[in-house]
Amino acid sequence: MTLETALAELERKLGPRFTRATATLAQYGQSETHISGGLPDAVVFPRTSEEVAMIAQLCAKHGVPMVGRGAGTSLEGHALALNGGVAIDFTKMNQLLAVYPEDMLCVVQPGITREALNAELRATGLFFPVDPGANATVGGMAATRASGTTTVRYGTMRDHVLALEVVLADGRTIRTGSAAPKSAAGYDLTALFVGSEGTLGLMTELTLRLHGQPEAISAAVCGFDTITHAVDCVIATIQNGIPMARIEFLDTTAVEACNAYAGNTLAAQPQLLVEFHGSPVGVQEQTERFAKIAAEMGSTGFTWAQAAEERTKLWQMRYNAYPAVLALRPGATALVTDVCVPISKLAQAVEETRAEIAQSPIMGPILGHVGDGNFHAILLVDKKNPVEMAAAKHLSARMVERALRLGGTITGEHGIGCGKLDYMAAEHGAAWDVMGQLKRALDPACLMNPGKMVRQT
């Protein structure tokens, strides 16, 4: 009973921060989407890196799987304990440890959320820009190499994690990277762990790059007669070098959902939500140039939002798009999928996807961070209806095939988890086997988040 031995020792060391309560375990067996399955045998809530190392050492000694978890906002089943074991919840490791304003850096624990981090940074004049929409933990965002609404200007988590402290599968603690702006010293282990989805180690500390809070911000929403015109506007804006901070797309069904959910009054047509950051003069120039391009692409009009409360309302509509879409069909769940393609292929990818959804028996609004070629489909299904589930999975597979055919990737944001594992060979070929070799080198017993990212051995 090596599992029971390990759990008894963890309970002795962690006390009330160890639980096997049935209701808690059931909660950790669910995700934000249709994916579910597998319950942890226990949940632990460490407060320090030393406790995480202790947990890993015990689990390694007794062959117990470990699954790291943050806010639980991932969409491809990343944090499900498919093989049982211990769920390691990082939400109590939620401190901003240090800020270095001169270097525009900060050091955080993995359980701090992006909103909490920015609230603490407000007085420094700096902010952390990566915004996936959900109030995710920074550790979870690094583990999935998250991006989001601001990626078109500021980049992804890959661009913002400079250094890490990581607990490996055997309980060793290592540090990767540094606070220096660049390095040529050895393998880039930081980049290896960012996006590894907890399959190689558990991040316990992160050094993050920050940015100065913009002097001026202007946002707007503008409608178009067709999806193609809206996407062509995005492409033209990027090709003209206009530095957008955000540019988001909602198709007609997504707009109708947001209107019904929050009492908005946007025209029921494809809409772009845009935002510009910079000096007052620079923002004014950018908005004028964008407005001209949008008019040339057939925009039906703008609604500008410059006051902070107006911008907050505009972006809250986008953040609420997922629950708004779910509300279109009460009782339904969603198969949420994303792909990313070269910007020149974006209009084709969105139009072909929209046409296939229209021919299917299910509803599937499209939205996304189109400034970087990334878009999402929220496929509403009754999980108990095999016809609907089959249709949704077919549409998701077709999106993947289309993205690869157009030179893109099977996911630009959500990651692999267990939901997209079957598509990895199609994108990576023999390179997927190399990923498996790296996994086995660092985690030969396959205890770190097994069943994710690489083939189960």
Q: Is the pLDDT of residue 156 over 90?
A: yes
- Rounded (10°) angle between helices 308-319 and 252-262: 120
Q: For residue 217, what are its two tokens?
A: 């911000």
Question: Does 49 reside within a domain?
Answer: yes
- Give residue 1's pLDDT: 63
Do both 184 and 230 map to the same domain?
no
Q: Is the pLDDT of residue 100 over 80?
A: yes
- Which residue, among 205, 218, 70, has the nearest Cα to 132 in the 3D structure? 70
- Give residue 457's pLDDT: 62
Backbone angles phi, psi at 67, to 5 degrees: -130, 115
Do both 286 and 271 map to the same domain?
yes
For residue 23, name the pLDDT band (cuts at 50, 70, 90): very high
Indicate the pTM of the whole model: 0.93
Do both 33 and 48 map to the same domain?
yes
Instruction: Give Dmax (Cα) for the chain.
Output: 70
Question: Does 439 reside within a domain?
Answer: no
CATH number at residue 12: 3.30.43.10
- Give residue 89's pLDDT: 98
Place of tokens 């007085």: 123
**Given 161, 194, 212, which residue is the final one in a domain?**
212
- Which residue, among 97, 27, 80, 87, has the nearest Cα to 52 in the 3D structure? 87
Count other Cβ atoms within 10 Å, centred on residue 77: 25
Number of domain units in the chain: 4
Do both 366 and 409 map to the same domain?
yes
Question: Does 419 reside within a domain?
Answer: yes
Beta-strand relationship, 86-89 and 42-44: parallel
Question: Does 434 reside within a domain?
Answer: no
Q: Is the pLDDT of residue 238 over 70?
A: yes
Give residue-wise pLDDT tens across range 45-97: 999 999 999 999 999 999 999 999 999 988 899 999 999 999 999 999 999 99
**Given 167, 186, 212, which residue is the final one in a domain?**
212
**Given 212, 239, 263, which residue is the final one in a domain?**
212
- Give residue 452's pLDDT: 95
CATH number at residue 342: 3.30.70.2740
- 402 with 339: CB under 8 angstroms? yes
Q: How far is CA 309 from CA 122, 306, 314, 421, in A?
A: 17, 8, 9, 41
Do both 61 and 132 map to the same domain?
no
Do both 337 and 407 map to the same domain?
yes
For residue 165, name the pLDDT band (cuts at 50, 70, 90): very high
Do both 372 and 399 map to the same domain?
yes
CATH number at residue 119: 3.30.465.10
- Give residue 212's pLDDT: 96
Q: For residue 359, what are its two tokens?
A: 């021919």
- Nearest-Å Rg of the Cα atoms of the chain is 22
Q: What is the mean pLDDT of residues 409-430?
A: 95
For residue 140, name the pLDDT band (cuts at 50, 70, 90): very high
For residue 33, name the pLDDT band (cuts at 50, 70, 90): confident
- Give residue 304's pLDDT: 84
Count other Cβ atoms within 10 Å, centred on residue 429: 10
333: left (phi > 0), else alpha (psi -120 to 50), else beta?
Answer: beta
Give residue-wise pLDDT tens across range 168-208: 999 999 999 999 988 999 999 999 999 999 999 999 999 99
Place of tokens 């609004």: 365
Question: Does 193 reside within a domain?
Answer: yes
What is the spatial distance between Cα 320 and Cα 134, in angstroms, rounded to a whole number? 9
DSSP-assigned beta bridge partners for residue 379: 335
Query: CB neighbours of 339 closer than 8 A, spacing ≥ 6?
Result: 349, 374, 375, 399, 400, 402, 403, 408, 409, 410, 411, 412
Question: Does 433 reside within a domain?
Answer: no
- Which residue, among 116, 120, 113, has the nearest Cα to 99 in the 3D structure? 120
Do both 305 and 346 map to the same domain?
no
Do both 172 and 195 map to the same domain?
yes
Q: Is the pLDDT of residue 306 over 80?
A: no
Q: Is the pLDDT of residue 422 over 80?
A: yes
Three-state SS for the chain is: CHHHHHHHHHHHHHHHHEECCHHHHHHCCCCCCCCCCCCCCEEECCCCHHHHHHHHHHHHHHCCCEEEECCCCCCCCCCCCCCCCEEEECCCCCCEEEEECCCCEEEECCCCEHHHHHHHHHHHCEECCCCCCCCCEHHHHHHCCCCCCCHHHHCCHHHCEEEEEEECCCCCEEEEECCCCCCCCCCCHHHHHCCCCCCCCEEEEEEEECEECCCEEEEEEEECCCHHHHHHHHHHHHHCCCCEEEEEEECHHHHHHHHHHHCCCCCCCCEEEEEEEECHHHHHHHHHHHHHHHHHCCCCCEEEECCHHHHHHHHHHHHCHHHHHHCCCCCCEEEEEEEECCHHHHHHHHHHHHHHHHCCCCECCEEECHHHCEEEEEEEECCCCHHHHHHHHHHHHHHHHHHHHCCCECCCCCCCCCCCHHHHHHHHCHHHHHHHHHHHHHCCCCCECCCCCCCCC
Do both 49 and 76 map to the same domain?
yes
Q: Is the dihedral of CA 152, 158, 164, 167 positive or negative?
A: positive
Do both 103 and 203 map to the same domain?
yes
Question: Does 455 reside within a domain?
Answer: no
Q: What is the mean pLDDT of residues 91-110?
A: 98
134/203: higher pLDDT: 203
Q: What percent of the chain has pLDDT over 70?
A: 100
Do both 72 and 115 map to the same domain?
no
The rounded Cα 389 to chain-centroid distance in angstroms is 23
353/266: higher pLDDT: 353
Question: Does 76 reside within a domain?
Answer: yes
- Give residue 34's pLDDT: 82
Q: What is the mean pLDDT of residues 9-32?
A: 94
Backbone angles phi, psi at 40, to 5 degrees: -70, 155
- Give residue 314's pLDDT: 84
What is the spatial distance between Cα 443 and Cα 457, in angstroms, rounded to a whole number? 11
Count other Cβ atoms within 10 Å, centred on residue 430: 7
Q: Is the pLDDT of residue 135 over 80?
A: yes
- What rounded mean pLDDT belongs to the chain? 94
For 201, the domain range is: 96-212
